[in-house]
Structure 1
């Protein structure tokens, strides 16, 4: 894997790493108006040494593929990553990944090309996906010379849009007690439960949430990918 990465690195041309050029070209003219079932999604999650993309690092990444609005549990990606810097105790207490557990794991430079190849032409999905993408793009910028152009969908925003739709059709339109934590949403919607703070299992949890919301919202006015994007963006807290 290291030899392949060095080969790609030496093959850089104007415009960045070949994987980033492929990514940019793939999504340069992207059709958002096909039915949701026509798209492939990669639902992802990361575990981190902290929450600051400028100073903290990825220590684990997990992902599962969704096609035809169906989860493929055998089509997964999971890697533990050896960070270059220190691992902070508060983060370790959350995800239980210790320095010893990743001491012999590959660096992010080695893991990154494999993860990008796994994603391919799929759209990225995550719960509070902006945080994951901040770390991922910081990493691709540092090691590959650019950022990703892949469209992303945030299941937290979709859940907020779905709840808003439900509220507007009920006699009690204001429900401040709803939590948009991934675990709490799984309980609320009766979804299968997975272990928290494990990148692959959190990705699987978010995948079930995504498929649930995609099917629920599709039953109303959501037909195409553009409809889904607009539903998430229209949530009033993010105006």
Structure 2
């Protein structure tokens, strides 16, 4: 209900009717899992350097329709960020402009439900560019895999500390690591976590 009310006012701010499709009712059993790599961890001052995404349809990752884009940032890459995603400024020499990537990303996700790990940060990064461009924030329904995992574990081991670190969740669900840490691989591994959780007994996706 809250999301419906929020999107009612959000929709009124839309500057381009071309993107009205974002407010349509979400496709059933279709999701987009995505991840952003950035120049740092502050959504207010840092920039996106890459976006990776995959479509999940009927419990299947549609790998033929992957979304992988590199973005030329306006802010300098921080050393701590480079240690994580290993993207250097020289790797972004042929990267695209964020305005073009955002448009392509919106066409890619459509009205699908968005899935991710630490998704609030990724959504904030997208909204940073989307709000000035179109006047809106992403209206899509969202699902955070760490929350789904927490609810699953709390039913199994109530009143216990639940480790929500990405690698811990992967190991507990027996999902193989793809090794390289980048936006696409992270989106792919997160989508595997989501599918595994979605099909466990007693797990309800709200």
Bucket of the pairwise TM-score, normalised by the shorter protein: 0.7 to 0.9
**Does structure 1 conserve the Cα–Cα contact (< 8 Å) formed by 2:152 and 2:203?**
no
Contact 1:81/1:111, CA 8 A, preserved across alignment: yes
Paired position in structure 2 for 1:17: 16
Correspondence for 2:196 among 207, 212, 234: 212
Match of 1:6 in 2: none
Q: Give the alignment's TM-score, normalised by structure 1.
A: 0.76
Cα separation, 2, equivalents of 1:130 and 1:21: 23
Q: CA RMSD in A?
A: 2.0
Q: Assess, with a 3 A threshold, how the Cα gap between structure 1 residues 211 and 58 changes in structure 2: closer, same or farther.
A: same
Distance across 1 between alignment mates of 2:117 and 2:179? 15
Q: Residue 72 of structure 2 corresponds to which residue in structure 1?
A: 82
* 1:195 has 2:185 as partner: no
Q: Secondary structure at the match of 1:83?
A: coil
Instruction: State the shift of 1:39 in Å.
Output: 1.9
Q: 1:19-34 to 2 correspondence within 5 Å?
A: 19-24=18-23, 26-27=24-25
1:65 alignment partner in structure 2? 55
Match of 1:8 in 2: none
| 2:7 alignment counterpart | none
Question: CA contact under 8 A between 1:20 and 1:146: conserved in structure 2?
Answer: no
Alignment of 1:149-228 (within 5 A): 149-168=139-158, 173-174=159-160, 176=161, 178-216=162-200, 219-220=201-202, 222=204, 228=205
Residue pair 1:43, 1:207 contacting (<8 A) in 2 also: yes
1:55 partnered with 2:45: yes
For 2:50 and 2:30, the matched residues in 1 are separated by 23
Q: Tell me the distance in 1 between the aligned counterparts of 2:42 and 2:181.
A: 17
**Structure of larger gyration radius:** 1
1:46 aligns with 2:28: no
Q: Mind listing any 5+ residue stretches in structure 1 that lack a counterpart?
A: 1-13, 32-37, 223-227, 230-239
Aligned length: 195
User: TM-score, structure 2 length as denominator?
Assistant: 0.87
Q: Which stretches in structure 2 are left out of the alignment for 5+ residues?
A: 1-12
Rounded Cα–Cα distance in structure 1 between residues aligned with 2:76 and 2:140? 30
Return the match for 2:126 from 132, 136, 140.
Answer: 136
Moved over 6 A (4+): none
Q: Does 1:102 align with 2:92?
A: yes
- C-alpha displacement at 1:166, in angstroms? 1.0
Q: Deviation at 1:199? A: 0.2
